[in-house]
Structure 1
C-alpha cells in the first residue's frame, strides 16, 4: 500500500518561506544536494505551497508517458508571452494544435530545411573570418543565438530579419523569459500592473515581440498561399466544426512558442559544445578526424548525418550535462502513486532533467564529459527515461528533430573552418534561468584551421 504524502522526505526550510531562498540562490547545486540526501522523491516546502521533486527514470516514465493526461501544465507566469501555445496549453486545445503543427516537423520537411541552415551558417562564419584576422574575441552565445533565430524565421515563416532586428528580438525574448523565470519561486514580488522599472522593461520587451510577430502574421494573411510553411498552416487552418479560422491571438501564441523553442535549445547547446570541446582536446580531435573522413572539408548534407556518429554522441552528451529545460513542473488532476508514495490531486510535481541526467545509478562519473556514454551498445543497456533532454511521451518537444539536425549541420561547418578556444579570465558556469545557458559571459577566440 502506498505511503502517505506526509511521509515523503525533504528539507524543512525556514518558517514562512521554506526552501525558496536556497532554490533561488543556487538552484542546480541545491537540487543535486537534496536528491543525494533524500532520494528519488523529495518534498520541498515553498512558503504556502509544496513542490515534489521526482528524479528516478521510472517516475519520469510515469509522469510523461504512462499517466501523462493526469499531469497537466500550469504556467500562469508564462501566459503573457506564450499564451495558449503548445508549451503551455492542455487538453483538447493542445491536441488540436499539436495535430495541426506536427506536419511542419515531419522528417522530409526538416530535411528540406538543411539548405537554409547551411546558408545562414555560412553568413555567420563569414563574420568569423574577420574576427579571426583581427584576433577579436567572439561572443559565441550571441553569435549562435542570432544564427538560430534567423534559421527559425526563414524555415518556419519564410521571411528574414535583419541582423539588427534579430538581435533586438532575441534580446527581448531573453530578457522577458529570464524575468518571468526569476518570478517563479520568488515569494514577494510586486504585481505586474505596478509601474516598477522591472515591470516597465518587461512590457516594453513584450510589446516589441508582439509587434514583430503580428507583423509577420499580417504580412502572411495578405499574401496567403505563396508559401508552404508553418505560418501558412496556421493562417489557413479552419475549425473542423465551425469552419472558422484561428484568431490572430491563437496564431500569435503558436508563433511566439515556436520562435522561442526553435532557437533557444539549438543556440544554447551549440554554445555548450564549443565550451566543452575547448577543454576536452581528445574529444575535439576525434570529432575533427570524423569530419575529415566523412566530409573532407565540404559542408554536410542530411545524407551525411548517419555517418557522423561521434558528432551525434558529442551532441547527446552535451544535452545530458546541460539540458536546456533544466526544471519543469506538472500539476496532478487526480491522485497518483510515484514510487512508494501516493500524491493527492492538485499536487505540484517538478522534473529536473539536469538532476536525472546525473543520477548515479545510471550515470557513473556523471559530471565528466564522455561522449562514449552514447555508443549504441551503451545506450541499449540504459533505462530509456534516464536521458530526457526533450522530455518524452506525447508531450515530447515537437521540434526535437529539427534542433538535432540543425546542430548536426552547423557544428561541422564551424569546426572544419575554425579552432574555437577559451579565453583566460572568462570562467563559464551554467546559469539556470528560463533555460540553462553558459555564462555569465562566453567570449572565445576563433582561429582559422590550417
Structure 2
C-alpha cells in the first residue's frame, strides 16, 4: 500500500524561499543531514517549486533502470550550452545519438587511444620535472585540466590546441558551466539578456567556446575521410530512415557535450586522488609497491590495467567520496512509486550519488578514505546501485570506460616518477558546482624519486 505525496517528510522552510537558501549555502552537508534525519525520500520546498530527494539504491534502480523512460531530463540552464546533446536530450533523438556515438567508445577503440594519453601525460610530466628541480609549488587541478582537455581533443577530434588556447578554452568552459549550475537553484535570477556582469561574462565565454567548436567542425569537413574518430562519425553519419546528415548545430551540441563529459570530470577526479594520497601515506605506499611489481618503472598499457587492482580500488574509492556528478534531476512523465510513496506526473526528483555513496546502510564509516572497500570480497553482495559514479542503466555515462582507462594510465605515470605532497596553508574542500571539484585550489609540490 502506498502513501500520498503529501506524506513525504521534509524540513520546514522559510516563507517564499523554502529551503533554497540552505541548499545553496551548503548543499552537500545539507543533503546528507536530510537523508539521516528524514530517510530515503525527502520533500524539499524551493519557493514555488517542490523537489523530492531520492537516496536509497532501490530508488536509483527504479529511476535509472526499471522505469527510466518515465524519468526525463530537463535542464533549462544547460540548454543554450549543450543544446540537444547526449547529456541533455530525451526520447528518440537521444536514442539515435546514443546509437551513433556508441561505436566511438567501444573498448577496443578506447584501447587504441592509450598512446595519446601516454604522450600527453609525458608532456605534462616534463613540466613537472621543472617544478621538481626548482622546488616551485603549482596548482595541480589546472595541470589536470590541460592534460585531459588535450587528450579529449586529440582522441575524439584528431586535432590539437596550443597550451594557451587549451587553457583559455578550459577556463571558459568551467566558468560557463559553473555559471549555469549556479542558476539552477537560484531563487531570483535576471533574464540572460540583461547586461549584468555575470551574464556578460557568460556570453563572452560561450562565444569563445562556440568559435573553437565550429572551427574543429569546419576543419573536419575540409578533411573529411582522413580520420576514424568521433567527429568523423558525427560529420558523415546519415539517419537510417531519412538519409539526412546531422546539421552543424547538432554536431556542435555533441562536441560541446563531449568537451564537458570528457575533461572536467576526469581532471577533478585525478586532482582528488592526488590530494587524498598526499594525506594517506599507507595507500600511496601500496600503490607504489603495486606499480613497481607490475610495471617496474615503464609506462602502463591497456593490457597492464587488470594487473593493477589496488590502483583501480583507489580510483573507485575516490569516485565514491567525490563523484563528479553530485546531483541530477529527473521529471516524471507519468506517476510512479518510490519506496512507499506515490509521486505524480510532473514531479521533480533529485538523485545525489554523493549522498547515496554515504548511505550508512551500505557504507560503514562513509566519510573515511578506505580503498579496501572495493576488494572483491568486500564488494560482493553490496547493492549494485549503492555505487553509481557514472550513474547506471541505459543512460549511464557513455564515456565511463574512457575515463577509467585515462585515470589508470595517468596515475602510475605520475607516482612512478614523483612524490606528490600537499602545500600547507591551502585547505581543500568539495566545491559543488557543475561538477564536484576540489577547491578553491589544490597546491602541491613534487620531487623526483617516485
- Show the counterpart of 2:121: 121
Q: Per the alignment, in what secondary structure is the counterpart of residue 312 of structure 2? A: helix
CA distances 1:336-379 after superposition (whole Å, capped 9, x unpaired)? 00000000000000000000000000000000000000001111
- Show the counterpart of 1:4: 4
Distance in 1 (CA, whole Å) between partners of 2:309 and 2:244 is 47
**Deviation of residue 441 (structure 1)?**
1.2
**Deviation of residue 242 (structure 1)?**
2.1
- 1:25-424 matches, within 5 Å, as 25-424=25-424
CA distances 1:146-191 after superposition (whole Å, capped 9, x unpaired)? 0000000000000000000000000000000000100111111110
Q: Per the alignment, in what secondary structure is the counterpart of residue 10 of structure 1? A: coil
Distance in 1 (CA, whole Å) between partners of 2:114 and 2:242 is 37
Runs of 4+ in 1 over 6 A off after TM superposition: none
Q: Per the alignment, in what secondary structure is the counterpart of residue 204 of structure 1? A: helix
Distance in 2 (CA, whole Å) between partners of 1:197 and 1:145 is 25
**Deviation of residue 90 (structure 1)?**
0.1
Distance in 2 (CA, whole Å) between partners of 1:379 and 1:402 is 23
Distance in 1 (CA, whole Å) between partners of 2:223 and 2:288 is 45
Distance in 2 (CA, whole Å) between partners of 1:418 and 1:255 is 34
Distance in 2 (CA, whole Å) between partners of 1:251 and 1:278 is 41
Distance in 1 (CA, whole Å) between partners of 2:305 and 2:422 is 27
**Deviation of residue 68 (structure 1)?**
0.2
**Deviation of residue 241 (structure 1)?**
2.2
**Deviation of residue 132 (structure 1)?**
0.6
Distance in 2 (CA, whole Å) between partners of 1:79 and 1:221 is 25
Distance in 2 (CA, whole Å) between partners of 1:204 and 1:311 is 40
Distance in 2 (CA, whole Å) between partners of 1:120 and 1:235 is 26
Q: Per the alignment, in what secondary structure is the counterpart of residue 438 of structure 2? A: strand
CA distances 1:182-226 after superposition (whole Å, capped 9, x unpaired)? 011111111001011110100000000000000000110111000
Distance in 2 (CA, whole Å) between partners of 1:279 and 1:129 is 22
**Deviation of residue 264 (structure 1)?**
1.4
Q: Per the alignment, in what secondary structure is the counterpart of residue 445 of structure 2? A: strand
Unmatched tracts of structure 2, length 5 or more: none
Q: Per the alignment, in what secondary structure is the counterpart of residue 325 of structure 1? A: coil
**Deviation of residue 380 (structure 1)?**
1.4
Q: Per the alignment, in what secondary structure is the counterpart of residue 78 of structure 2? A: helix
More displaced 10-residue stretch of structure 1: 372-381 or 327-336: 372-381
Distance in 2 (CA, whole Å) between partners of 1:443 and 1:278 is 11
Q: Per the alignment, in what secondary structure is the counterpart of residue 414 of structure 1? A: helix
Q: TM-score, normalised by structure 1?
A: 1.00
Distance in 2 (CA, whole Å) between partners of 1:185 and 1:427 is 26
**Deviation of residue 260 (structure 1)?**
0.9
CA distances 1:38-82 after superposition (whole Å, capped 9, x unpaired)? 000000000000000000000000000000000000011101110
**Deviation of residue 243 (structure 1)?**
1.4
Distance in 1 (CA, whole Å) between partners of 2:311 and 2:251 is 36
Q: Per the alignment, in what secondary structure is the counterpart of residue 186 of structure 2? A: coil
Distance in 1 (CA, whole Å) between partners of 2:56 and 2:242 is 45
**Deviation of residue 266 (structure 1)?**
1.0
Distance in 2 (CA, whole Å) between partners of 1:260 and 1:187 is 25
Distance in 2 (CA, whole Å) between partners of 1:241 and 1:257 is 25
- Show the counterpart of 2:425: 425
Q: Per the alignment, in what secondary structure is the counterpart of residue 77 of structure 1? A: coil
- Show the counterpart of 2:23: 23
Q: Per the alignment, in what secondary structure is the counterpart of residue 188 of structure 1? A: coil
